[in-house]
Amino acid sequence: MILSALLTSVGINLLLCILFFTLYSILRKQPSNVDVYAPRLVAEGKLQNSSGFSLDRLLPSPGWVRRAWQLSEDEILEAAGLDGVVFMRIFTFSLKIFSFMGLVGIFILLPINYVGKQLNAIDFSDLPNKSLDAFTISNLEDGSKRLWVHFAAVYLATGVVCYFLYYEYRYISSKRLDLFYSSKPQPHQFTILVRGIPKSSESTSSNSVYNFFAEYHPSTYLSHTMVCRTSKLQGLITDAKKLYKKLTHLKSDAHAQHKSRRTGFLGLWGQKETLVDHYGKKLEDLEENVRMEQSDVSLAREEIPMAFVSFNTRYGASTALHIKQSDNPTEWVTEVAPEPHDVYWPFFYATFLPRWISKLIVIVATIILTLLFLIPVAIVQSLANASQLVKWMPFLKGILTITFVSQVITGYLPSLILQWFLSIVPPIMKIFSSMQGYISHSEIEKSACTKVLWFTIWNIFFATVLSGSAFSMAEFFLEFKNIPQTLAIAVPGQASFYISYVVTTGWTSVSSELFRMSPLFWSTITCCARGSDNEVDVSSVPYASIIPKHLLFVLLGITYFFLAPLILPFVLAYFCLGYVVYRNQLINVYKPKFDTAGKFWPIVHNSTVFSLILVQALAVGLFGLKLLPLASSLILPLIVLTLLFNEYCRKRFLPIFQTYSAESLIKKDKKDHNDPAMADFLNKLVPAYRDPALMPLHYSRNANDHSTPLLS
Nearer to a second copy, 495 or 617 (CB): 617
Could you tell me which residues are beta bridge partners of residue 334? 194
Least Å distance, CB 660 to a second copy, is 8
Cβ 358 vs Cβ 437: under 8 Å = yes
Binding residues for a second copy restricted to 547-576, rule: CB under 8 A: none
Contacts with 299 (C-beta within 8 Å, 6 or more apart), sequence order: none
What is the greatest pairwise CA distance in the chain? 96
Nearer to a second copy, 74 or 663 (CB): 663
DSSP E strands: which ranges in 211-344?
Answer: 221-228, 260-262, 272-274, 303-311, 333-336
Stretch that binds a second copy, among 69-77, 473-481, 528-536, 691-699 (CB under 8 A): 473-481
What value does the CA radius of gyration of the chain take, rounded to a whole number of Å? Answer: 30
Stretch that binds a second copy, among 540-548, 600-608, 649-657, 685-693 (CB under 8 A): 649-657
Least Å distance, CB 207 to a second copy, is 17
Asked whether position 648 contacts a second copy by CB under 8 A, the answer is yes
Nearer to a second copy, 371 or 417 (CB): 371
Stretch that binds a second copy, among 210-218, 452-460, 513-521, 695-703 (CB under 8 A): 210-218
* Among the listed residues 352, 454, 458, 681, the single contact to a second copy using CB under 8 A: 352
Stretch that binds a second copy, among 2-10, 68-76, 214-222, 421-429 (CB under 8 A): 214-222
* Among the listed residues 327, 387, 404, 424, the single contact to a second copy using CB under 8 A: 327
| CA gap 603, 443 in Å, rounded | 13
Nearer to a second copy, 408 or 641 (CB): 641
Asked whether position 481 contacts a second copy by CB under 8 A, the answer is yes
Asked whether position 281 contacts a second copy by CB under 8 A, the answer is no
Least Å distance, CB 638 to a second copy, is 16
Stretch that binds a second copy, among 23-31, 227-235, 323-331, 343-351 (CB under 8 A): 323-331
Asked whether position 177 contacts a second copy by CB under 8 A, the answer is yes
Order of strands across the sheet with 221-228? 221-228, 303-311, 191-195, 333-336
Q: For the chain, give the number of residues.
A: 712
Least Å distance, CB 469 to a second copy, is 16
Least Å distance, CB 188 to a second copy, is 17
* Among the listed residues 14, 122, 360, 677, the single contact to a second copy using CB under 8 A: 360
Asked whether position 255 contacts a second copy by CB under 8 A, the answer is no
CA angle 473, 474, 475 (to 5 degrees): 85
Asked whether position 77 contacts a second copy by CB under 8 A, the answer is no
324 φ, ψ to 5°?
Answer: -50, 125
| CA gap 637, 621 in Å, rounded | 15
Cβ 157 vs Cβ 109: under 8 Å = no
Least Å distance, CB 213 to a second copy, is 10
Binding residues for a second copy restricted to 499-538, rule: CB under 8 A: none
3-state secondary structure (DSSP) of residue 685 = helix
CA angle 620, 622, 624 (to 5 degrees): 70
Least Å distance, CB 668 to a second copy, is 12
Contacts with 404 (C-beta within 8 Å, 6 or more apart), sequence order: 8
3-state secondary structure (DSSP) of residue 227 = strand
Nearer to a second copy, 128 or 354 (CB): 354
Virtual CA dihedral for 163, 165, 167, 171, nearest 10 degrees?
Answer: 180
Asked whether position 358 contacts a second copy by CB under 8 A, the answer is no
Binding residues for a second copy restricted to 576-605, rule: CB under 8 A: none
3-state secondary structure (DSSP) of residue 261 = strand
Cβ 29 vs Cβ 63: under 8 Å = no
Which H or E run includes 41? helix 39-43
Residue 325: which of 195, 199, 188 has the closest Cα? 195
Least Å distance, CB 26 to a second copy, is 49
Stretch that binds a second copy, among 91-99, 280-288, 315-323, 498-506 (CB under 8 A): 315-323
Least Å distance, CB 157 to a second copy, is 24
Nearer to a second copy, 360 or 399 (CB): 360
3-state secondary structure (DSSP) of residue 273 = strand
3-state secondary structure (DSSP) of residue 570 = helix
Residues touching a second copy, count (CB under 8 A) = 43
Nearer to a second copy, 235 or 637 (CB): 637
Angle between helices 374-383 and 413-423 (to 10 degrees): 160
Least Å distance, CB 182 to a second copy, is 14
* Among the listed residues 53, 387, 480, 534, the single contact to a second copy using CB under 8 A: 480
CA angle 531, 534, 536 (to 5 degrees): 120
Nearer to a second copy, 475 or 705 (CB): 475
Nearer to a second copy, 352 or 454 (CB): 352
Least Å distance, CB 217 to a second copy, is 8
Instruction: Give the per-residue contact string, 660-689, with a second copy (x = CB under 8 A; - = no).
Output: xxxxxxx-----------------------
Nearer to a second copy, 260 or 319 (CB): 319
Residue 599: which of 445, 454, 431 has the closest Cα? 445
* Among the listed residues 132, 306, 555, 656, the single contact to a second copy using CB under 8 A: 656
What does each C-alpha distance from 167 to 96, 103, 605, 653, 669 come to in angstroms? 12, 21, 11, 11, 30
Asked whether position 641 contacts a second copy by CB under 8 A, the answer is no
Contacts with 496 (C-beta within 8 Å, 6 or more apart), sequence order: 1, 6, 131, 132, 133, 564
Asked whether position 74 contacts a second copy by CB under 8 A, the answer is no
**182-217 burial, b for 16+ CB within 10 Å, e for fewer?**
eeebebbbbbbbbbbbeeeeeeebbebbbebbeeeb
Instruction: Give the per-residue contact string, 433-472, with a second copy (x = CB under 8 A; - = no).
Output: ----------------------------------------
- Dihedral of alpha carbons 496, 499, 504, 506, sign: positive
| CA gap 245, 406 in Å, rounded | 50
Site for a second copy, rule CB under 8 A: 177, 215-217, 315, 318-320, 322-330, 332, 352, 356, 360, 475, 477-481, 644, 648, 651-656, 659-666
